[in-house]
Chain A
């Protein structure tokens, strides 16, 4: 039973759209639930400030929601756009849906952490409300970058003309590109959120430490974002490099495997770096005199955690360029 290409394009678009919104809904909902839980706890402790806390809960939730909205946009595009009839189009649609769906998970959960910590901090120290909001906004914005990487890759996949490329192995490169950026965004979103949570908590405990806490937060978050950037790099190579046509099975599998390797491999190091960053920021807030020791130790610990992410990058690049 052979179906024509239009049937396959519809199948892929609907499956991809469903996966984009389904996976994309997980993270933001968890993050927003965490924020709301913290806001309730905070209002219970200090009911007089319910107005401020309520406002910052909504602002924090709106930021966490943006990752899900990206997924909604991609899902709508997949459902209602008319795509060109080409053998590679179904792969593009599935890949774009997977990329944005996975890519929204980490950023949604991660953005909920600083918002929750900011709500609790306001109840504890009402006079630093303004500074807490600023830290929450900066921290959550950094958490959103991996979701934006995934959105960019999804858009590039949807709007690139792959019809001039050979079907095999380009189909695997397309799938690999989406999987790499999508899965690679999970850890960085989560890790960045953990660091930002500690900074909001720290500012509320020790308002005088706001400058070092914010600086180290940004440093720690930057390190957690590196693995998402490796994943983005692998996606770009897979999308823009043209691979010679082949009838064999091994070359396309190498490209798919490169995307899987970098995508999955980016999750763990970024979460681990987030733990290290959270602890360092929390203790700089309590023990400002030892900022140098703590920052150095955080960076050394994060560098060691990063190593497995770099191994994944190396294996992915070997799979693309060497074998």
Chain B
């Protein structure tokens, strides 16, 4: 069978989308877990500040999440736009 250029490009885009989202999900997952772990520790030591700690944890995780969202955006761009 003859493989055409457009087909190879599409195949590479699909593969790239999967790799982008797959590998891109590792870092945020681990990092957000570390943030949650330290927040739990802090509440254990100082339970009165639970509200403040939860807020800080969520903001920190949201920032850490951003690279995961970049991966998602790149994956969707590869799948549907380029």
Show the binding face of A for B, using Cβ within 8 Å: 187, 247-250, 252-254, 256-276, 278-280, 282-284, 286-287, 289-290, 293-294, 297-298, 300-302, 304-309, 311-312, 314-316, 318-319, 322-323
Contacts and interface: CB of A to CB of B under 8 A. Distances in A.
A265 B43 contact: no
Contacts of B39: 297, 301
A278 B79 CA distance: 37
9 contacts: A249-B7, A249-B10, A257-B16, A260-B22, A261-B21, A264-B23, A300-B57, A309-B25, A319-B14
Interface residues of B, number: 54
A63 B31 CA distance: 29
A297 B29 contact: no
Interface of B: 1, 3, 7-8, 10-12, 14-19, 21-41, 43-45, 47, 50, 53-54, 57-58, 61-62, 65, 68-69, 71-72, 75-76, 79-80
B11 to A, nearest CB: 4
Given A283-B40, A293-B47, A302-B36, A264 B26 contact: yes
B80 to A, nearest CB: 8
Contacts of B16: 257
The 5 closest A-B pairs by CB, nearest first: A272-B33, A301-B36, A283-B44, A257-B18, A268-B29
B23 A253 contact: no
A245 to B, nearest CB: 12
B43 A250 contact: no
Given A250-B11, A290-B47, A269 B29 contact: yes
B38 to A, nearest CB: 7
> How would you classify the secondary structure of chain B's contact residues: helix, strand, loop or mixed?
helix
A318 B12 CA distance: 16
Given A297-B36, A315-B21, 18 more contacts: A248-B7, A250-B7, A250-B14, A257-B15, A260-B22, A264-B23, A272-B29, A275-B37, A278-B37, A279-B40, A279-B41, A287-B44, A297-B54, A304-B61, A308-B68, A311-B69, A311-B72, A312-B25
Nearest to B3: A249
Contacts of A323: 14, 79-80
A46 B45 CA distance: 30
B57 A301 contact: yes
B79 A308 contact: no
Given A265-B22, A300-B58, A315-B72, A256 B15 contact: yes
Contacts of B27: 268
Nearest to A183: B22
Contacts of B28: 268-269, 272, 305, 307-308
Contact of A275 (B18, B21, B30): B30
Contacts of B22: 260-265, 312
B36 A304 contact: yes
Contact of A279 (B7, B12, B36, B71): B36
A305 B10 contact: no
A248 B14 CA distance: 13
Given A248-B7, A300-B54, A276 B40 contact: yes
